[in-house]
Structure 1
């Protein structure tokens, strides 16, 4: 017995959407790592700000450390933004794959553009993470 053409079409769409869904899983793991790094950095900032006056040896090193941690926190936040936006674009790719078969005949250019944008943002997020782990 042969499968209905609509069933074959849905099966093909699901096959096309599997790779982007795996990417979403990878992005989720990366976001977990970034949120952990952000939490650790925020804890370091909090500890630095809670030092009693007599405990600090000099105010200048504390200011320098605070600036470094603030810059680090900013970079981590940008990495999170890049990765969340990439995840949203990947979701848009999956939706576009299904829509292209039922509503609009050819969305291949849109799908390609969304995927390229998602990969670019994912690469930017990785570069920001690399920058963060390369700091002293």
Structure 2
């Protein structure tokens, strides 16, 4: 296992693209965490209001928030799995290049699984956005119909 400086440069070149992908996944996790924080804050506010008295509109909104919460949690889990898999891909790139182990298929499989997890994460995020918009449209329609 005699590693030359040029070999290290080659290994680093191989790992650059996954590192950029990892940066994107980390940014996406930040967005998801911010959405989750807003859902949690709104849930706390509604629970406080419901303690003082039952309101059907608040209860309905709370149900929608729980649904959104679950979808965001799924998206966070899938994004975290993506990040973990990309980190493993980078580690295997270094390991395979420095030890001449045949890890190319393992790297390919892990990368495909990482992309599937990333796709799932985006689908959960999109579903959460749709649930949010649907509730807002329904709520807006009710406000328009109410007499003043």
TM-score by length of 1: 0.88
Structure 1 stretches of at least 4 aligned residues deviating more than 4 Å after TM superposition: none
Query: Partner of 1:53 in structure 2?
Result: 52
What RMSD in Å do the two structures reach over aligned CA positions?
Answer: 1.7
Task: State the alpha-carbon separation in 1 of the partners of residues 76 and 119 from structure 2.
Answer: 12
Secondary structure of the corresponding residue to residue 95 of structure 1: helix
Secondary structure of the corresponding residue to residue 50 of structure 1: helix
Secondary structure of the corresponding residue to residue 52 of structure 2: coil
Query: Partner of 2:124 in structure 1?
Result: 128
Query: How far off is 1:133 after superposition?
Result: 1.2
User: Relative to structure 1, is the Cα distance of residues 53 and 108 closer, same or farther in structure 2, using a 3 angstrom cutoff?
Assistant: same
Output one character per residue of 1:41-78: Cα deviation in whole Å (capped at 9) or x when no partner. Answer: 00110111111635x6xx33222211110010011011
Unmatched runs of 5 consecutive residues or more in structure 1 = none
CA contact (8 A) 2:3 2:98 kept: no
Query: Partner of 1:94 in structure 2?
Result: 90
TM-score by length of 2: 0.82
Task: Provide the aligned length of Structure 1 versus Structure 2.
Answer: 130
Task: State the alpha-carbon separation in 2 of the partners of residues 81 and 104 from structure 1.
Answer: 33
- Farther off after superposition, 25-34 or 102-111: 102-111
Output one character per residue of 1:2-47: Cα deviation in whole Å (capped at 9) or x when no partner. Answer: xx97222211111010000001110111011000000000011011
Task: State the alpha-carbon separation in 1 of the partners of residues 34 and 127 from structure 2.
Answer: 16
Query: Partner of 2:15 in structure 1?
Result: 17
